[in-house]
Amino acid sequence: MPAIRPGARGAVISGWGTALPEKIVTNDELAATMDTSDEWIQARTGIKERRIGGTTIGLSVDSGRQALEMAGLEPSRIDALVLSTTTPDWQWGNAAAVQNELDLFCGAFDVNAACSGFVYALVTAHGLVAMGADRVLVIGTDTLSRITDWDDRATAPLFADGSGAVVIESVDGPGQLLGWDLDADGSALPILQADVGGTIKMEGQEVFRRAVRIMVDSAEKSMLHAGVHPEEVKLVVPHQANIRIIQAACDRLGIPIERAAVVIDTTGNTSSASIPLAMADALETGRVQNGDLLLLVGFGGGMTAASCVLRWGGGVE
Ligand code: UT7
């Protein structure tokens, strides 16, 4: 992937929001319906509970509205809406439906790169800013519970529902995006797939093995483009698929897991929402200050991978 051209118009995140369904499903509740246990799920995945319910459009409206409010923006000031989802409510027009409900007057389109989708959407939004957009709303939402086979213990404990959103706004000085990487290897599509109208089928161990490799590879490319070394990264915001994948990727990147944002214990794998949910949690618990370097990195079906390095607040310290 190319490096950012010097002088390209940049942006910073000026607001964010999250939405989770009210219904909590614990591991014990799952164990009551299938041959599994809280002990197994926690030990193998790090998940204790997950949120189930809602629609992709409804959750997106909730997180998107919060992000607009935090940014202090009237809806009419948004120039574009990018909605990342792999579980659309409709074949098309999901972003347009969110645009309508939020009273936006702008272009709106869906992006689907599975669990890498939020970073794909965020990088795309920065591209729109480089081409003249001033304010872009980026939402990552998935309702994976609707495409989960609830009789399959190999997948059912993993997937869940949620949404996260950010507003990015153009800035005069250097923006926040220092480096990015978008990657895909379609030869690995069969190991993690869902037919249209079907449920998720997964070769868990093979996905695990590749996930660590492609996350590390993508993260290293973004850091190289950004001119950033792992020890300078204040916070890694990884896709929340499995705590053991996060641990292995951090180990290989040489970044202590204490510097990773982790919410998988309470959210499960929410695909497009997992990175913005983890980032929002870190922001709200005071883990990020202006000038800090963040490394966002995801992987997912396709298989896809995506990462970017952000300097929080933009500019140079
Ligand atoms: O967004 C990307 C989506 N996907 C992923 O990131 C998934 C990546 N893969 C993984 O996270 C892991 O491979 C899993 C969590 C899916 C599975 O963990 P694992 O350590 O790879 O387990 P395994 O598939 O090797 O299975 C170990 C044992 C098997 O039993 P035997 O053959 O050793 O007797 C499974 O049948 O665990 C059994 N097992 C379970 N036992 C209790 C599989 N699922 C369960 C379960 N409860 N839910």
Each residue of 9-46: pLDDT tens digit?
999 999 999 999 999 999 999 999 999 999 999 999 99
Work out the burial of residue 233: count CB atoms within 10 Å of its CB; fewer than 13 is exposed, 13-18 middle, 19 or more buried.
buried
Percent of the chain at pLDDT > 90 equals: 96
- Grouping H, G, I as helix, E, B as strand and the rest as coil, residue 285 is coil
Which residue is closest in CA terms to ligand 1's atom 12?
204
Q: Mark out the alpha helices in the chain (DSSP H runs).
A: 27-31, 38-45, 56-71, 94-101, 117-130, 204-226, 243-253, 264-267, 274-284
Pocket test for ligand 1, best of 44, 158, 206 (most atoms within 8 A of CB): 44
Give the Å distance between the CA of 111 and the centre of ligand 1: 29
Average pLDDT over residues 191-209: 97
175 φ, ψ to 5°? -80, -175
Q: Among all chains, which residue has been given the structure tokens 């709303």? A: 137
Q: Which domains does the chain have, with CATH numbers?
A: 10-171 (3.40.47.10), 177-311 (3.40.47.10)
With a 6 A CB cut-off, is 109 part of the ligand 1 pocket?
Answer: no
With a 6 A CB cut-off, is 241 part of the ligand 1 pocket?
Answer: yes
Burial 196-210 (b: 16+ CB within 10 A, else e): eeebbebeeeebbeb
Give the Å distance between the CA of 279 and the centre of ligand 1: 27
317, pLDDT greater than 60: no
Q: Which helix (H) or strand (E) holds 155?
A: none
Catalytic positions are 115, 239, 269
Which residue is closest in CA terms to ligand 1's atom 8?
208
Give the model's pLDDT for residue 155: 98
Position 174 confidence tier, pLDDT thresholds 50, 70, 90: confident
Q: How far apart are CA 42 and CA 26, in angstroms?
A: 11
Give the Å distance between the CA of 29 and the centre of ligand 1: 18
311, pLDDT greater than 90: yes
Our CA dihedral for 225, 136, 71, 50, rounded to 10 degrees, sits at: -80
Average pLDDT over residues 285-293: 97
With a 6 A CB cut-off, is 27 part of the ligand 1 pocket?
Answer: no
Percent of the chain at pLDDT > 70 equals: 99
With a 6 A CB cut-off, is 205 part of the ligand 1 pocket?
Answer: yes
Give the model's pLDDT for residue 21: 98
Give the Å distance between the CA of 154 and the centre of ligand 1: 6
315, pLDDT greater than 90: no
Q: How far apart are CA 184 and CA 162, in angstroms?
A: 24
Give the model's pLDDT for residue 316: 61
Q: What is the DSSP letter of 76?
A: G
Average pLDDT over residues 282-292: 98
For the CA of 269, the nearest atom of ligand 1: 1
- Grouping H, G, I as helix, E, B as strand and the rest as coil, residue 277 is helix
For the CA of 157, the nearest atom of ligand 1: 48
Give the Å distance between the CA of 40 and the centre of ligand 1: 9
Give the model's pLDDT for residue 279: 98
